[in-house]
Structure 1
Amino acid sequence: MELFDNHKKLFGAAAGLFVGLTILVAIIPAIRNQEKNKPLPAAEPLSPQAKKGKAIFVANGCVACHTQQVRNVDMDKMWGSRPSLAADYAAVTRTDPWRNTATLMGTERTGPDLTDIGNRQPSRDWNLVHLYNPRIVVKESIMPAYPWLFDFKKEPSKSDIVVNVPATYTKGKEGKVVASDAALYLVAYLQSLKQVKLPGGTETPVFLYKKEEKKATTGAASAEPDGKSLFASSCQSCHQANGEGLPGAFPPLKGSSIVTGDNLELYVDIIMNGYDARPEYAAMAAVGTNMEWTEHEVAAIINYERTNWGNNGKKVTPEEIKKILDFIKLKAAK
């Protein structure tokens, strides 16, 4: 055949076949995917600071230990309110014209999944302390420290973000720890990672392979949340398992006048809306609001904190907390 005798025609035909198959198998399906999968209506684009933080996240290889995908199995329920969808990644575009999309879904969870970390841990101060040295807030952490993202200044300026690091972690260094722009960009990216709610009327995908709950053999099982578990998942990273907090970073709950006192309205307001009135400590995020806690979760947390570490405060009921929550919401609406 002439085709096999003429190298120009042979290589031309091979090149044409390759280009045609590429268009048919790769390019057309990719375009159809982009047309079919759009970001969810409530999704917000990354801010300029978060975009820079994403580049730092990629450059430091954070994807090697952290995933950004909530699988549709029950064990992943702790990472998000629903399984991840294709629409969650529809806004992820090419890094630039010369580099492909940075795939951050990950394949291994040496560390926690970050799909909804912006809701689970929204505190900028906590994230900065954690980046400086993870062992400050989580003693068992195996995550590497990132001290090069911070500077030491004897006299920080008003525009500097000072990080409240306990003195035991700054031995041999003079001055205060100040977050660099890179650290602030990285935290801005982490704070932007929030699972978007589905539009009203959209059926939420279910988590599969749920564990069968064992029926109680004696008496009725309590329907109230477990305060110890709630504290461990949402409060312990700052206030520590012993309730003593971290000097210079996070206040103690052990012996706290707020925890054991009679001003229940202030106590509930701090849990729901956060607190930022003490310069010696980092600001507390609105944990209760971010986690959408009801009066039952708040009551369980308060009762746990009031009856541990030597505290001897009066227990509360969900009904008491409900009245205070309604009052706080009414006050905020005015």
Structure 2
Amino acid sequence: MKGAIKETNFQFPNQTGFYKGKVRDVYKFEKSIVVVATDRISAFDVVLPKPIPFKGQVLNQIAAKFLDATADIVPNWVTAHPDPNVTMGKKCEPFKVEMVIRGYLAGHAAREYAAGKRTICGVALPDGLRENDKLPQPIITPTTKADEGHDEDISRESILAKGIVSEEDYLILEKYTHALYARGTEIAAQKGLILVDTKYEFGKYEGQIYLIDEIHTPDSSRYFYADSFQANQSAGLPQKQLSKEFVRQWLISNGFQGKEGQQVPDMPAAFVQEISDRYIELYEKITGESFVKAETWNLESRIEEAVLKSI
């Protein structure tokens, strides 16, 4: 599909390394990194074959707004946004865990609960919950941060016992995670949305903890529409949501959950366009601003020129 960027292969002056993530291309320098938000999309920890037009721009610009809106809670890694698809910042050493926080029983947690589990990542859940019910209080359900393959659920106790994060640092990560989720929930409510669950990643730079990666985007978060939430729950209906969950559900209905031996189904052009439209819808809903599509005539050259002017 035209106007979408699947991957980049730049060679910048003084570049010391390159890392290709699931959806981002990361260019490393001595003390900084340049992160290009591509239009790749992943689900069940698998990168799907077709890129989604404007997805990278949507994620990059939503993250920029939320990082700025939470900078009073925790310092973040960002130093500049030279292009709609690019963020530059400090080269932090990431903690090997993702801090997932859930205010509602949805997605992966709901599937685990439906399978009979009443303890998720060491956190006990009460009986009698239905999918999408609000939890008694937000819970943190961490995952390991995998360089390749699947992230795995892990408990707080295991993280500390294995020395993945020191107890001193982990207490700070928990504090930041709850505070960020509270701020995200507040901002979402102002836009008529519910921040159902989300994840945060942290790293260290010169001994200080920083918030890294993106936050509160449809790739890292799940949103419900607040106005229809209670009526849908009372009627046992699915929630209208803005997140990647509809992509996951489409894949599940087409026989794919990222399990061994399963083939990724081909996404029709109409579905690719629907995904793009939904990402733009979330941008406009969560920011309250119209989405301005960046020039896509020659995406790679546009990005490369912007970075070269900024490094």
TM-score for the superposition, normalised by structure 1: 0.23
Higher-RCO chain (CA-CA 8 Å, sequence separation at least 6): 2
TM-score for the superposition, normalised by structure 2: 0.24
Greater Rg over alpha carbons, structure:
1
Higher strand share: 2
Higher helix share: 1
